[in-house]
Structure 1
Amino acid sequence: MEAKPRTVLFELVTAQRIRAYRSFQERFARVADQVRSEGLEAPAPPTERHYARWLVVGGVQGLPHEATVRVLERMFQRPAEELFRPASAVPQMRPDPLLRSPDPHGSPNPHVLNESDLLMTARDAAEHAGEAASLHLDDMTLDQLDDELVALARKYGCTAPGKTYSKANDLLRRAQVNLERTRSPEQQTRLYYAAGQATALLSAVSFDLGALDPAVSFSRSCAQYGKTIGNGPLQAYAHGMLAYLAFWDGRPSEAVRLAKTAQQHGGLGDTARRRLYAIEARAHGHLRNDVQAQRAIRDALEQHSGTRDELHDDIGGEFGFDPARTAMSNATTRLLLKDGEGAEASASEALTFLSALPSDERPVVVSGPASIDLARARLMRSEVEGAQEALRPVFEVPPDWRGAGLLERLTAARIELTRPELRTASAALSLAEQIEEFSALSPARKLSAASHLAIEG
C-alpha cells in the first residue's frame, strides 16, 4: 500500500525537528501564548490525532479555524493555504536529505554526513522513543478495569438492570479513553478486550430493559472488538446474543444462522458451546422444528470435553452458562414445542440447581424465567393453583428487576389463562390480574413492547 502524500506542514515540522507531537505541541503553545499577549484569539494545541491528520494530504477538509490559522502562520511564516498543500507541489519543499544543491555544472554532489547530522537524527529518534514510552499506562490501571468488569459480569444476575447499565457504560468509556493513552500493543489488546466485555454486558442489559435496537448495536460492537483482536470467545458471545435477539424479534431462521456462525469461532470451551447450542435449540423451537431443536438440546447437554475459555469459564457470570441456565433455556424450548411434561422437568431441574445457592446469589435472570416456565407447563394441564404456587417468588421481584425476559414469559402465561376452560375460573382471573399488575411496573414495558414471536406458546 502506498504511503499517503505528505503536506508542506509535514516537511516543515520535520526540518525544524518538531515532528514528534510533544515537540510540536510545546512550540504551538508558546506561539499561541505570544499571540494572546497581543490581544488576539489563539486556541489550545490540537489533539495528537488531529495533528497527525494535518501531516497528510486530505487528512482535513478545508482550513482550520481562523485562530488556529493565525498561530500556524506565525509559527512557519507561510500562508495556511500552502501549509496544507502537497509538499510535492511546492518546488522548494522537495529536498533530498542526502543531496546538496546542484553544482555549477548541473550535477548534484552527495552530502557528506558529519557528527552534527548524526546527533540531530539521534536526538529526533530519542525524542520520538521517549514520547512512545510516555504513552504507556500503568498496568494497575488496566488491572483495576479488568477486576471491575469481572465483578460486574459475575454479579449481573443479582444486580438491577439500571445499575448494571450505568456501571457498564462507565467501564466502556474508561476503556475507550485509555485506548487513546497507550501505544503498547499488549495494552491495546487488553483494552479492546475490556471494551468488548463492556459492550457485551450493555447488550444484555439493553435487552433486559426492553430496548432491542441498542442491544443489537452493542452486540455488533462487541463482535467488532473481538474481531479486532482475534478473540473467538468474544465474537462467539456477540453472535450468540445476536441470534437470541433475532428470534426474539421474530426472525428465527436468521437466529439459527447466527447461532451456527457463532459456533465456528475458535478457542471456545464447553460452556460457550453449551450456550450456543441452547440458543440454537430455542431458535428451532420458534420454527416448530422438533427434530432439530431436540438435537441441539442434546448437543448442549453433551459438552463435557473439559475445554475452557477465559470469557465464558474464568470470568463467567453473565458470560457463563451453568447447568441451571441450561435447564432453564431447555424448558423454554420445550414449551415452544408444546412438550409440557419435558418443560416442567427442565424448569424443576433449573430451580433445584439454584436452591443449592444462598438466596442472595440466585440470579433473577435465571430463577425468574425458570419459575414462570414451570407455571406455564402446569397451566398446559390447567393446574392454575400449581401455576400460582410457581409464580409466587416471581411476584416478589422488585419493579427495577422486571426485565424483558420475565415479561416475555409472563405474557405467554397470561395467554394460557385465556383458554376457554380457564378464562372464567376465579383463580385464573385472579392470576391474570396479578400478571397484568406485575408487568405494568416493568421498565421493559415502558421502553418497548414485547415481541409476539418471543411470547408465543
Structure 2
Amino acid sequence: MDEGRRTVLFLLATRRGIRSHQAFSDAYTRVAEQLKSEGHDVAPAPVARHYERFLKHGEVKTAPHAPTARVLERMFRMPVGDLLGAASDVRDLETGRSARDPAPPVLDESELLMTARDAASHAGEAAALHLDEMTLDQLHDDLVQLARTYGQTIPGEVYRNATNLLNQAQVLLERTRSPEQHTRLYYAAAQASAMLAAVSFDLGASVPAVTFARSSAQYGKTIGNGPVQAYAYGMMAFLAFWDGRPGEAVRLAKTGQQFGGLGDTARRRLYSIEARAHGHLRHDDQAERAIREALDQSSGRRDELHDDIGGEFAFDAARTAMSNATTCLLLRNAEGAEEFAARALSLMRARPADEQSIPVSGPAAVDLARARLLRNQVEGAQEALTTVFQVPPNWRGSGLLERLTAARIELTRPEFRDAPAALELADQIEAFSAMSPTRRLGATNPLAIEA
C-alpha cells in the first residue's frame, strides 16, 4: 500500500502484530466482549472488506457507528477520527498518541491484559506457522535429484518437474514465519528458477530463460547466497552472448565472479563463459586468458551449490573442455578446438552409460566435427557426427542445434561446393534439425557460434 494512504489504524495494527483481518478480528472480539460485560453496546468485528477500508485514508466517508467506534477507541486508546486519519499527518505516532492528545492515557489492568493476550495470540499463530522440517528436507532432496539427473532427463520433463518444485517452494513460503525456513525456501526457489532458466534455453525459449535467471538471482540476493547469484549471473551472461550481446555477457560474467563464497567449480564456469563472450568479440588475448583462468582453478575451495549438489550446477572437466572447444572455434583455432572437443568426449565416454550427459557429449561431438571442417576434413566431420545423428528429437536442444547450424554454414564454403560428401552431410543436418522441440517453439539462430 502507498505509504501516504495509510491510516493511523494501519500502523498501530501492524505494530501490534494484528495487521491481518483474522488477527485484528480476534483482538477486536476480545475487547468487544469486555465492553459488553461492562454494559456497553458493541458491534461485531468489521468484515474483511470494511476492515481494509479502515486501513486506507480517505476510504471511509462517514465515521463508524458508535458501537464499532467504542471498541476501536478502547483497543487503541485513541479517538476513532484520529485512527482513520492519515498516518503521515501524525507527529508522535511512536508513542501511540494523536497529534491532538496533550498527554498519554493512563494504563489500566484491562489494557495490560488485552496486550498480553494479543502477544500470546500472535505467538501462537507464529508457532503454528512453522513447517515440518521433513517437508523442507523432501523439497531439498527433490531439487538435488533433479539437478543431478538433469543431463539424463529430457528437457520437457525437467521443465515440468522444476516448475512443480518452484511452485512448492512459493506455496510453502506463505505457510511459515520461521526466518530459517524462509532462507531454505528462498534457496530452493532460486535453485528451481535456475534450472528452469537452463531448460528454457535448451527448449529454445530465451525470453523466459532470462526471466527465470533474473528470478534466481533475486532469490539469491534475498538470502545473501553468493553461489546461487553467481550461477544466475553466469546463466544471464550465457544468454546474453547467445542473444548477440557479447559485451554485456563479459560484464555479467565478471559480476558473477565478485560474489562471495564461490568455490573453484563456480569460478571455472564463470571464466569459461567469459572466454566464450570474448570469443564472440574476437578478443583473442582475453579469450585465451579466460581459458587459462578456467583451467587454473585448483585451490580446493568448494561451495554447496556447484560442488555438493552439483549436477546441472557443476562444471567439471568435460564441460570445461566442451566450452573451451567452442571458444577456440570462435577464434578459428581448429587445432585447439579439436583438442578440447576430443578431451570432452573422452572424459564423457569414460563414465558409466547412465551418467553420460547428452547436453555435453552432443555439442562436443559437433564442435569436433566443425574443427575438422575447418581443416577441410569432411569425412572426419561425418564420423564425429555419427552419434549426434542418433540423438532422439526430444534431446535436440538449442546448444546442439545452433552448433549444427554453424557446421552447416561451414559446408557452404567454396571448397565444399561440389563435394558429394559435403552435400550429403548438409542434407543430414537439415533433416536432423527439423525434428526438434526448439524448432517447434520457433527458435531462431542467434549469435551462438559464428561462421
TM-score (norm 1): 0.82
Deviates more, 1:441-450 or 1:138-147: 441-450
Query: Which of 210, 213, 224 is equivalent to 2:218?
Result: 224
- What does 1:351-430 correspond to in 2, within 5 Å? 351-430=345-424
Q: Which amino acid letter does the alignment assign opposite residue 147 of structure 1?
A: D
Correspondence 1:327 to 2:321:
yes
Say how many residue pairs are matched.
418
* Contact kept in structure 1, 2:143 and 2:165, CA below 8 Å: yes
Offset of residue 159 of structure 1: 0.9
Q: Are 1:272 and 1:321, in contact at CA under 8 Å, matched by a contact in 2? A: yes
Name the counterpart of 2:108.
Answer: 113
Deviation at 1:426, TM superposition (A): 1.5
Cα distance between partner residues in 2 of 1:185 and 1:12: 23
How far apart, in 2, do the equivalents of 1:374 and 1:397 lie?
16
Question: What are the superposed Cα offsets for residues 111-140 of structure 1, whole Å, 9 maximum, x if unpaired?
Answer: 2533x4433222111011101111111111
Q: 1:238 aligns with which of 232, 240, 246?
A: 232
The amino acid that maps onto 2:387 is: P
Give the AA of the match of 2:382: Q
Match of 1:299 in 2: 293
* Structure 2 CA distance for partners of 1:119 and 1:280, relative to 1, 3 Å: same
Task: Tell whether 2:193 aligns with 1:199.
Answer: yes
Q: 2:439 matched to which residue of 1?
A: 445
- Please say if residues 253 and 287 of structure 1, whose CA atoms lie closer than 8 Å, have aligned partners that are also in contact: yes
* Match in the other structure for 2:252: 258
Q: Name the structure 1 match of 2:76.
A: none
1:28 and 1:75 in contact (8 A); partners too = no
The structure-2 alpha-carbon separation of the partners of 1:426 and 1:76, relative to structure 1 and needing over 3 Å to count, comes to: farther
Distance 1:415 1:277 in 2: 28
Q: Classify 1:90/1:348 alpha carbon distance in 2 versus 1 (closer, same or farther; 3 Å).
A: closer
Say if 2:7 is the partner of 1:7.
yes
1:122 maps to: 116
Match of 1:182 in 2: 176
For residues 167-215 of structure 1, the C-alpha deviation after alignment (integer angstroms, 9 at most, x for no partner) is 1111111111111111111111111111111111111111111111111
Q: Tell me if the contact between 2:246 and 2:277 (Cα under 8 Å) persists in the aligned partners.
A: yes
Which of residues 318, 326, 337 is equivalent to 2:331? 337
Q: CA, structure 1 residues 303+54, in 2 after alignment: closer, same or farther (shift >3 Å)?
A: farther
Distance 1:311 1:184 in 2: 23
Q: 1:40 maps to which residue?
A: none
Q: Does residue 212 in structure 1 map to residue 206 in structure 2? A: yes
Cα deviation, residue 387, structure 1: 1.0
1:196–1:222 contact (8 Å) kept in structure 2 = yes
Shift of 1:323: 0.1
Describe how 1:164-183 pairs up with structure 2 within 5 A: 164-183=158-177
Q: State the distance in 1 between where 2:358 and 2:159 align.
A: 16
Which secondary structure does the structure 2 equivalent of 1:400 belong to?
helix
- Deviation per CA, 1:13-65, whole angstroms, max 9, x where unpaired? 89x99766544467999xxxxxxxxxxxxxx9759xx97x666436xx968xx
1: CA distance, partners of 2:155 / 2:67: 53
Shift of 1:422: 1.4
User: In the TM superposition, what is the alpha-carbon distance from 1:359 to its structure 2 partner?
Assistant: 1.5
Per-residue CA deviation, residues 261-305 of structure 1 (Å, 9 max, x unaligned), is: 111111100000000000000011111111111100000000000
Quote the residue 1:349 is aligned against: 343
1:335-380 deviations in whole A, cap 9, x for unaligned?
1111111111100100111111112211111000001001111111
- Measure how far apart 1:317 and its partner are: 0.7
In the alignment, is residue 248 of structure 1 matched against residue 242 of structure 2?
Answer: yes
Distance 2:262 2:96 in 1: 53
Residue 279 of structure 1: aligned partner: 273
Alpha-carbon distance in 2 for matches of 1:109, 1:74: 23
**Inter-partner Cα distance in structure 2 for 1:17 and 1:235:** 33
Give the distance between the partners of 2:21 and 2:293, measured in 1 at CA. Answer: 55
CA distance in 1, matches of 2:243, 2:309: 29
Amino acid at match of 2:362: G
Distance in 1 (CA, whole Å) between partners of 2:6 and 2:442 is 51
SS in 2 for 1:421: helix
Q: CA deviation at 1:382?
A: 1.6
Cα deviation for residue 419 of structure 1 reads: 1.3
* Structure 2 unmatched runs, 5+: 30-45, 71-79
Equivalences for residues 81-160 of structure 1 within 5 A: 85-86=84-85, 111=106, 113-114=108-109, 116-160=110-154
Q: 1:199 to 1:89 in 2, by over 3 A?
A: closer
Which residue matches 2:56? Answer: 57
Q: Given the superposition, is the C-alpha separation of residues 46 and 235 from structure 1 closer, same or farther in structure 2, using an over 3 Å criterion?
A: farther
* Structure 1 residue runs without a partner (length 5+): 30-43, 64-71
Structure 1: distance between partners of 2:435 and 2:83: 59
The AA in structure 2 aligned to 1:455 is: I
The alpha-carbon distance between structure 1 residues 391 and 135, as it changes in their structure 2 partners (threshold 3 A), is same
Task: Please tell me whether residue 270 in structure 1 is matched to residue 264 in structure 2.
Answer: yes
Contact 1:282–1:293 (Cα < 8 Å) also in 2: yes
CA–CA separation in structure 2 for the residues paired with 1:22 and 1:325: 53
Residues 12, 96 of structure 2: 8 Å contact kept: no
- With over 3 angstroms needed to count, the CA separation of the structure-2 counterparts of 1:97 and 1:301, relative to structure 1, is closer
